[in-house]
C-alpha cells in the first residue's frame, strides 16, 4: 500500500476505495460507513485496500 493510499484511507475513505476498486459494493459500503461515523469508514478502507 502506497503512502498516498494510506493518507486517503485516513482523510477520505470512500475516495481511497473508489480509486483502488472503482464503483461497486465496496465503494457504497465505504460511503455508508463513513456517513455513520468516520472511524468505521477508515477501518473499512484499510481492510478493503489492504487485500
Task: State residue 2's pLDDT score.
Answer: 87
The residue written with cell numbers 478502507 in the block is 45
What are the tens digits of pLDDT across the range 15-41?
999 999 999 999 999 999 999 999 999
- 23: alpha, beta or left, given left = phi > 0 and alpha = psi -120 to 50? beta
| Dist CA 32 CA 17 (whole Å) | 12
Provide the pLDDT for residue 42.
Answer: 95
Q: In this structure, are residues 32 and 14 in contact, taking their beta carbons and an 8 Å threshold?
A: no
- What does the pLDDT read at residue 24? 93
pLDDT at residue 7 above 80?
yes
Confidence of residue 9 (pLDDT cuts 50, 70, 90): very high
Q: How far apart are the first and last CA of the chain?
A: 9
pLDDT at residue number 1:
73
Amino acid at each position: 500500500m502506497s503512502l498516498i493510499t494510506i493518507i486517503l484511507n485516513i482523510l477520505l475513505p470512500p475516495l481511497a476505495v473508489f480509486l483502488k476498486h472503482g464503483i461497486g459494493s465496496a465503494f457504497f459500503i465505504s460511503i455508508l460507513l463513513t456517513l455513520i461515523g468516520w472511524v468505521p469508514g477508515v477501518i473499512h478502507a484499510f481492510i478493503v485496500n489492504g487485500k
